[in-house]
Amino acid sequence: MKSELTGRIAKVLGEADADDAFLKTLEILAEAGLQPQGQAGQTAWLSLEQGTRSLALYATNREATIDIDRADVEPLLRVALQRLVDSEQLKHTKERLEMLSAASFEGLMVHVDGSVIDVNQRLCELLGYEPHELLGPKTMQMCTAPEDLPGVVKRLSDRFEGEYVITGIRKDGTRFRAELLTKQGKLGERPVRVAAVRDVTERERTQALLKESEARFRDLAEKAFDLVVISRDGIVIDVAGSIEGMLHRSPDELIGHTLFDFVAPAHRPFASEVVAQKHVKAYEIELMSKDGVAIPVQITPVLSTMNGSPVRVAGVKDLRPAKRLEDERLQLRAQMERSQRLESLGVLAGGIAHDFNNLLVGVIGNAELLLMGAASAEDRELVQDILSAGQKGASLTRQMLAYAGQGVRRQKEPVDIGALCREIHGLLGATLSKKAIVTFDIAPGSIVSADRVTLMQVLMNLLTNASDSLDDQPGQISVRSELVTDPDDAWKDALGTRVQPGDWVMLQISDTGRGMDATTRERVFDPFFTTKVQGHGLGLAACLGIVSAHDGALLLHSEPGKGSTFSLLFPRSTGTPTAVAPTPKPEDPAKLGQHILIADDEPLVRQSLRRVLESQGYVVTEACDGREALAAAGSKAIDIVVLDLTMPEMDGAEVARNLRANGSRVPIILSSGYWSPSTEAELGPQGISAFLQKPYSIGELLATLKKVLSS
């Protein structure tokens, strides 16, 4: 009986699962008279506790348990209870694992050398497959983008553990960015690898957008600033921008050092205070480059964070270009004010010269008439002094008009600078300092389109000034020319025409004389300013006017004790210079009795001309303005008209145009202290017959009349 009972219990425990075995064991014991419930107050035949389970057996009658050995049954029952405990724990563990697997945000797979043996539900949802479809050796090839598969295979062979990102492929063919975290593990004694798979498409998109935003911010900062410095607690942790170009340092020379190592010593206390008090307003200081140059900068700081820690971001703007622009602006402003002042003086000089010329016409004309009729030597001497003074006044007005850019009317022609310089040197041989060594270095082809006479005046003035600057001490005067197509930046400060690239001839007259200080250089071209004991200061002023009238530019460089250099720039001519025309022979006297109409708003000029012309046998009609001149020309037989160019209401040019428009072919002589090329262009080649430059002598007047009448 005993062995039969225990044998049956042992057999049941060995064949069935824990729950069934326990129930069958209770059935066997019930047949033997033992039940898990007893009557009130009944003592348990056997009471057991095993883990979380307990069991109490009660005998249905006393005789039923006599043949049962408690010592044989108790171990078997303990085994049954332990199996129940183990089964419950295994069930709970499996439920927890299934719950964790289903609730996981990451797909999980277990594989052996790439052959998948288990997956969780999240991986199936991520890839769009059923669990059984993901088992086997082809999962890696099926779910990995072809371009990333070699890298995955290599990591498998290298037993790589860690994170990496690939492009995954779902069952429907769509792609996504997958992050894999792989680790070695064991399933019992069997080595396996566990891989966690996470969809990081959105994360990578966000990171890409963040990088783009950071790149845009960095690009914007680098374009807005020359240098961007990021610091923490006064220590440089990152830099960007033109570090080498600005500070002549590499980034490694800044990172890890304090900000104040690169600040000019005089500005360090202020910079320290700004950083310590966390000021975020723009301020200006000076930085020091590696070679010790102080660099003025503007710093615009902001407070920010990097990797969660507070940092100070400072945009650094190099102020040297702005200061250069400001200096250039001030220089241009000063140059413009100087040009406006010179232009105003030129207008004033031109106006004075015009009125003075009208007076000189009367003075010189009447003086010449008196000289013709002077009886005694004393009277002739007095009149000659008057005439000489008038002629000097005429020379002075010509210089004033030249300064105003209103010189004598002469045709421009190709002029060889070299030949002209040698000619002038010959003329001035007795005038220049005997201690001056004059050298010429003229480039071949130095030909300009110019009025030979006024250009000669410019060179004579400059050579004379160079000689005077030597103060009768040994020195050198050099005259050189060169052909220039792209004048350097120094010509931006030149007076006269605005200089641009083109075909130019540059003429330089240099001396080793006393030179000029800044004050003298500033006023040297002003009319009536001179440093000489004698002179009226119109020489250089007239030079500037003549150069400007030739569409040229003038540049002066001079320092006290180092001499002066006058540089002239003229448009180059491709023409061939002509020989100087011989002096024309005197014209034959004109026939007497011709009728001449004189139109001038200055009574003194009209009266002087009437006396002169009537003394020569001409018939004279006077007109005080243009309208009266037109009326006289229309009512009388006029042989020649002498018109003042500048008259009120209707000037001489307008009178000439009206005469030609009315069909009149009468010869016209225009007279003025200056001549505008635009006026000649307006009148055309048949507009006038001659031009008389005021003030003129009786000889010049009569010669012009005879030439016009005879032609």
pLDDT at 536: 45
Query: What ranges make up the beta strands (E) of 636-702?
Result: 640-644, 668-672, 690-693
Per-residue pLDDT at 346: 59
Domains 104-199 and 205-318 alike in fold: yes
**CA nearest to 516, candidates 477, 466, 563:** 563
Q: Which CATH architecture has domain 104-199?
A: 2-Layer Sandwich (3.30)
Q: Which of 685, 677, 635, 636 is nearest to 656 (CA)?
A: 685
Beta strand 595-599 with 619-623: parallel, antiparallel or unpaired?
parallel
Beta pairing partners, 177: 167
Which residues fall within 8 angstroms of residue 671, CB to CB, at 6 or more apart? Answer: 600, 642, 643, 644, 645, 652, 691, 692, 693, 694, 696
Look at domain 413-571 and name its CATH class. alpha beta
577-586: long-range contacts at Cβ-Cβ below 8 A with a sequence spacing of 24 or more? 577/413, 577/414, 577/415, 577/416, 577/419, 577/447, 578/413, 578/414, 580/452, 586/703
Give the pLDDT confidence score for residue 641 in this predicted structure: 92
Q: Beta strands of 413-518 (E only): which ranges?
A: 413-416, 436-441, 447-450, 475-484, 495-496, 504-511
CA atoms within 13 A on the CB side of 2: 9
Specify the CATH number of the domain 595-710.
3.40.50.2300
Name which of 667, 671, 677 is nearest 693 in CA terms. 671
Question: Residue 252 in 3-state DSSP?
Answer: helix
Evaluate whether 126 touches 197 at the Cβ level (below 8 Å). Answer: yes
- Averages of pLDDT over runs of 10 residues in the chain (711 residues) are 73 78 85 82 84 85 71 84 81 64 73 88 90 90 93 91 93 93 83 89 82 69 77 87 84 88 89 86 88 89 81 87 81 69 62 69 77 75 76 64 52 83 74 82 89 79 85 87 89 84 91 86 69 54 79 89 90 76 42 81 83 87 90 87 86 87 88 64 68 79 86 70
CA dihedral for 410, 414, 417, 420, sign (positive or negative): negative
The H-assigned helical ranges of 114-227 are 121-127, 139-143, 149-157, 201-224
CATH topology classification for 205-318: Beta-Lactamase (3.30.450)
What is d(CA 568, CA 547) in angstroms, rounded to the nearest whole number? 8
* Per-domain residue ranges of the chain: 2-100, 104-199, 205-318, 323-395, 413-571, 595-710
553 neighbors 547 (Cβ within 8 angstroms): yes
Residue 280's identity, in one-letter code, is V
